[in-house]
């Protein structure tokens, strides 16, 4: 008992000493303690996830890959639980305002990491359109090649890929044993991106791409040796690893995947789904509350869509108008180049009008490019790929040119506003310019903020006079209806027992999305619970805050200042966004 008494006495003395400190000293003590905690965790994070470390410009681990075995998952969980306990010893109330925002974001990150382990989400390391195996294909693009050592590190990383592949296979095999898998219904054809890597020659593999044009500094015998090593690593390590994954998916995962659909059918499914909602939407709403909000938004948007049908004088009902938009050739590009040109036209048109609504714009440029062929058949209509952090490559607005008959031109303005500017590119590039923010915050992406902002950006196209025809306005409303319907469909599938066909019918009957896109989207919601909720919940919050600002500031409201302030936050949870806009409004009055 003596040791315990002495320890308790030490704690009491420590608390008394803290109580005797003046307010600023207490704040400094908590600030220093918090900084030490997050710096320790950040160092751990970089070491545990070497590809991420390389992405953020830390190259101490560039010859390694992150390991994913169950032992690795358990070790990280124990570490993060310890970090979370340490954070309880820091008072947000005693931190500076910016530090308190940092603290809340960091706590949320730790809670998400911990929940990811405790709900076993790591047993399903892929969704219907992407996964670790497709992310790895981008390693050549995401790697900095400036020195001979960079090439050697890259080869060492690839040499480790087979071991990590086997760990992923072991996790998925464990998922089969416990019933924690993707639904079998969404797996057909999803082996395409894996099968695409099973090439006969190293030179045909994307993993070999860095060696097709070696710099002049690599010459003579060293050049020959490196090319031979690259050929061997790709053919002996990488391709056999992908073949093992392909055969596992074909022979074990697909036959062993669960027959059920929603997250609620998984072991511990209700807790898993609520954790997914919290991670992606950053709200504590129940599935029922989200579902009801979705129904309310769907009804409002449908009324606006019907007004446009009346405006164009269409002779037919709502369903007939959707069929007209899906089937009339005037609304579709004839070639991939035509679709890309259409997207490029709107990208430049938007760029010229951004100063109407923004005082501060990012320095980083972006380009327009097609979605890679190997993932295009199951991919969404478009996506933003962020710039490299070394500024050697700009961002990219990907446009899906697969199945042109499912990519309507009238949707391109809204898609461009969302994925490029002032949507993901503007928000993401500005976030990376926030050099004063700690790295765990600067490099974070909070879906409710980022996707909510991008959906909000689609409607800014009305204020910038981007939409040129009633059909393009209908395309914007189709996109908004698409995101509102997600609130209904995602909760319907994962909490209320909806079938896949029920979800497809719901989305197809309310939007002008092609039936191909409707199907791929529903499969995405099935395989990625909760993520689809973030768009409308985030956008709804931003519009609420803007209306509040317009009402409180009246003629003094400046939309450029409002946008600049919101984007200056980087990426924050919705509750933090509400509080910070409230504080900003108080300062404006």
Q: How many residues does the chain have?
A: 589
Per-residue model confidence (pLDDT) at position 397: 98
Distance CA 229, CA 234 (A): 9
Do residues 525 and 304 make contact, with C-beta atoms less than 8 angstroms apart? no
pLDDT at 370 over 90: yes
pLDDT at 20 over 90: no
pLDDT digits (tens, 9 = 90+) for 59-95: 999 999 999 999 999 999 999 999 999 999 999 999 9
Distance CA 435, CA 452 (A): 23
CB-based contacts of 315-323 (< 8 A; 24+ apart in sequence): 319/509, 321/512, 322/508, 322/509, 322/511, 322/512
Per-residue model confidence (pLDDT) at position 390: 63
CA 348 to chain centroid, in Å, comes to 25
User: pTM for the full model?
Assistant: 0.91
Alpha carbon of 355 to those of 182, 347, 420, 458, 462: distances in Å?
Answer: 45, 14, 15, 16, 15
pLDDT at 485 over 70: yes
Distance CA 498, CA 28 (A): 52
Do residues 104 and 90 make contact, with C-beta atoms less than 8 angstroms apart? no
Do residues 456 and 539 make contact, with C-beta atoms less than 8 angstroms apart? yes
pLDDT at 25 over 70: no
Per-residue confidence at 10, pLDDT binned at 50, 70, 90?
A: very low
- Burial class of residue 539, CB neighbours in 10 A (0-12, 13-18, 19+): buried
Enclosing H/E stretch for 197: none
State whether residue 328 is helix, strand or coil. coil
- Domain boundaries, given as residue ranges, for the chain: 2-48+69-123, 132-259, 272-541
Q: What single string gives the DSSP state of each residue in 73-125?
A: HHHHHHHHHHHHHHHTTS-GGGS-HHHHHHHHHHHHHHHHHHHHHHTTGGG--
pLDDT digits (tens, 9 = 90+) for 200-219: 999 999 999 999 989 887 88
pLDDT at 18 over 50: no
Do residues 452 and 544 make contact, with C-beta atoms less than 8 angstroms apart? no
Distance CA 11, CA 454 (A): 49
């Amino acid at each position: 008992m003596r040791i315990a008494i002495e320890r308790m006495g030490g704690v009491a003395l420590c608390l008394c000493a803290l109580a005797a400190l003046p307010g600023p000293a207490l704040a400094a003590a908590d600030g220093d303690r918090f900084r030490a905690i997050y710096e320790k965790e950040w160092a751990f994070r970089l070491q545990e996830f070497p590809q991420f470390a390389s992405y953020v410009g830390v190259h101490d681990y560039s010859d390694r890959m992150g390991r994913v075995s169950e032992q690795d998952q358990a070790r990280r969980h124990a570490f993060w639980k310890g970090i979370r306990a340490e954070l309880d010893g820091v008072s947000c109330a005693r931190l500076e305002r910016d530090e308190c925002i940092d603290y809340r974001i960091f706590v949320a990150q730790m809670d998400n990491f911990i929940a990811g382990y405790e709900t076993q989400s790591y047993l399903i390391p892929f969704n219907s359109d992407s996964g670790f195996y497709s992310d790895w294909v981008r390693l050549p693009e995401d790697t900095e090649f400036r020195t001979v050592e960079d090439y050697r590190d890259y080869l060492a990383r690839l040499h480790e890929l087979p071991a990590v592949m086997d760990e992923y296979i072991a996790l998925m095999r464990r998922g089969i044993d416990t019933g924690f898998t993707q639904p079998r219904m969404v797996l057909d054809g999803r082996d395409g991106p894996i099968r695409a890597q099973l090439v006969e020659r190293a030179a045909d593999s994307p993993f070999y791409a860095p060696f097709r044009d070696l710099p002049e500094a690599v010459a003579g015998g060293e050049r020959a040796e490196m090319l031979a090593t690259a050929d061997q690593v790709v053919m002996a390590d990488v391709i056999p690893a992908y073949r093992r994954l392909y055969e596992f998916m074909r022979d074990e995962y697909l036959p062993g995947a669960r027959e059920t659909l929603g997250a609620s059918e998984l072991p511990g499914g209700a807790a898993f789904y609520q954790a997914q909602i919290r991670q992606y939407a950053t709200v504590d709403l129940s599935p029922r509350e989200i579902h009801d909000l979705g129904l309310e938004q769907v009804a409002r948007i449908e009324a606006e869509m019907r007004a446009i049908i009346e405006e164009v004088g269409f002779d037919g009902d709502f369903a007939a108008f959707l069929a007209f938009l899906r089937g009339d050739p005037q609304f579709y590009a004839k070639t991939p180049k035509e679709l890309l040109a259409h997207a490029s036209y709107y990208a430049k048109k938007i760029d010229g009008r951004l100063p109407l609504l923004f005082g501060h714009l990012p320095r980083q440029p972006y380009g327009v490019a097609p979605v890679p062929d190997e993932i295009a058949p199951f991919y969404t209509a478009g996506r933003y790929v962020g710039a490299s952090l070394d500024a050697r490559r700009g961002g990219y607005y990907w446009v899906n040119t697969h199945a042109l008959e499912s990519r309507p031109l009238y949707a391109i303005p809204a898609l461009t506003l969302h994925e490029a500017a002032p949507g993901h590119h503007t928000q993401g590039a500005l976030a990376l310019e926030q050099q004063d923010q700690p790295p765990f915050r600067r490099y974070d992406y909070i879906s409710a903020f980022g996707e909510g902002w991008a959906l909000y950006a689609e409607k800014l196209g009305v204020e910038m006079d981007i939409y040129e025809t009633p059909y393009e306005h209908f395309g914007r409303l189709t996109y908004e209806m698409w995101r509102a319907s997600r609130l209904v469909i995602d909760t319907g599938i994962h909490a209320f027992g909806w079938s896949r066909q029920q979800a497809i019918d719901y989305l197809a009957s309310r939007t002008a999305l092609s039936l191909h896109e409707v199907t791929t989207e529903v499969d995405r919601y099935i395989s990625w619970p909760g993520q689809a909720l973030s768009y409308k919940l985030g956008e709804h919050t931003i519009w609420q805050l803007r209306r509040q600002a317009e009402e409180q500031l009246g003629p003094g409201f400046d939309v450029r200042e409002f946008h600049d302030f919101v984007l200056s936050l980087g990426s924050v949870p919705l509750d933090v966004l509400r509080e910070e806009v409230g504080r900003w409004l108080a300062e404006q009055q």
